[in-house]
Amino acid sequence: MGKILFTGACIITMDEEKPEYFTGDLLIEGDRIAAVSERAGAIERPRAGRVIEGRDLLLMPGLVNTHGHAAMTLLRGYADDLPLQEWLEEKIWPVEENLTGDDVYWGTLLAIAEMLKGGTTTFTDMYFFMERAAEAAAEGKIRAVLSRGLIGLGEGGEKALREAADFQRNWQGAAGGRISVTYGPHAPYTCPPDFLRRVMDEADKTGSALQIHVAETAREVEECKRQYGSTPVRHLHRLGLFERRVIAAHCVHLDDEDIEILAEKKVGVAHNPGSNLKLGSGIAPAARLLDTGVTVGLGTDGASSNNNLDLLEEMRLAALLAKGKAMEPTLIPARQALQMATINGASLLGLADVGILKEGFKADLIALNLKEPQAAPLFDPPAHVVYAAAAADVRFAVVDGEMLVEEGRLTGLDMEKIIDECNRRAERLTGRSLKKP
């Protein structure tokens, strides 16, 4: 890694000490941002390094995907248009019984390729065979927050928990610090209280955070009330889960008391608007959560329930759904949607030096192509990113100072090989033939 200078670009830093956007320069040295200037041409061109002319570029922090199941790219389009419980119990879980570590490795690489090309430089994953997922993340050179998914029903819970502890020991801080490990109890309805206490005890040994699905469907809430006498949020609160750093995925069906608890306990919420819409789960009260002080990030969920990993699309959905549901166009304005996809996501994942373009922070950033019809006229760059930009507009993606997407093409992954491998594995897993292009 050397020096890279972007000069004369439109820059959105997400740094509150800087203007909302400006035309200027940004210098990368090694894995860090060395300088940011609000004046184009102010940073001296490095003698040894690369200079990228930014006249047609919009530079911004890389996007942070706060919830997903990466290897489920293998099941993209396999079980569409079904309710969550039927989708899980009758379609997804039976196929997942046949997953191998190699399947997870290749499916995760496919997800990484898609995410990088769409501007995501950090992703969160909760799944199985996580050592292989970590190998894929290390190979793809993306930043990753990973957890071994844990289900406490049946006889496999203790084995899964031992695997999660081993995974934490082996992979926390790996790949030059790009990989972080959390514990991933699946949900209150798959993790009984005694099992959740065991998970918390293990997480406490290393101070690890936890990620868990919470209040995704109305059915889940009603079953939790019947079984435990309270909503999922209050149930987890009583168990003491929220005394730790928690990433709560979905949080669609919340009442006022639930929201107050999440705010008081500083629980981070991963909002997944696309997946929640497609599964008919509902619309999370993201604007209310934000107004109450909850840190809300954005996630795509898995590609089998979305069906893409496009965080630019999730930004747009989050903003539009909030406005449409409340019939109030001022809710979740463009800058707040950008915060959800960048600095908020980094914050709830515990990444202190990611999500802002600022001197000393990690050089995780993307550059969008402004020489496209939908970018003209460019009155308001943040609004353009949220309401008009597309994944195909990503020209450059940098993680830890290394160029992973250049002129829209992956620099380090063989996309053709990844797609061929994943197609073959998807056919084996599902027993269905794919349509050939």
Token pair of 214, please? Answer: 């919470």
Give the residue carrying structure tokens 């930009």.
Answer: 389
pLDDT per residue over 376-410, tens digit each? 999 999 999 999 999 999 999 999 999 999 999 99
Is the pLDDT score of 437 beyond 70? Answer: no
- Provide the phi-psi class of 225: left if phi over 0, else alpha when psi is between -120 and 50, else beta: alpha
Is the pLDDT score of 48 beyond 80? Answer: no
pLDDT per residue over 216-240, tens digit each? 999 999 999 999 999 999 999 999 9
Give the residue carrying structure tokens 């994944």.
Answer: 391
Band of residue 155 on the pLDDT scale cut at 50, 70, 90: confident
Mean pLDDT of the chain: 97
Domains in the chain, CATH or no CATH each:
3-61+359-410 (2.30.40.10), 63-348 (3.20.20.140)
pLDDT per residue over 241-252, tens digit each? 999 999 999 999
What is the average per-residue pLDDT within 316-341? 98
Exposed, middle or buried: residue 423 (CB in 10 Å: 0-12, 13-18, 19+)? middle
Token pair of 68, please? Answer: 């997903």
Is the pLDDT score of 434 beyond 70? Answer: yes
Cβ proximity of 14 and 347 under 8 Å? no
For 53-91, the DSSP string reads: E-TTEEEEEPEEE-S--GGGGGGTTTS-S--HHHIIIII
Is the pLDDT score of 32 beyond 90? Answer: yes
pLDDT for residue 1:
63
Is the pLDDT score of 413 beyond 70? Answer: yes
For 177-211, the DSSP string reads: TTEEE-BEE--TTTS-HHHHHHHHHHHHHHT--EE
Q: Residue 202 and residue 102: Cα distance in Å, rounded?
A: 27
Is the pLDDT score of 108 beyond 90? Answer: yes
pLDDT per residue over 277-325, tens digit each? 999 999 999 999 999 999 999 999 999 999 999 999 999 999 999 999 9
What is the average per-residue pLDDT within 13-33? 97
Q: What is the CA radius of gyration of the chain?
A: 21
Higher per-residue confidence, 435 vs 37:
37
pLDDT for residue 72:
96
Cβ proximity of 18 and 65 under 8 Å? no
Give φ, ψ of 46 to 5 degrees.
Answer: -65, 140
CB within 8 Å of 22: residues ≥ 6 apart: 10, 11, 38
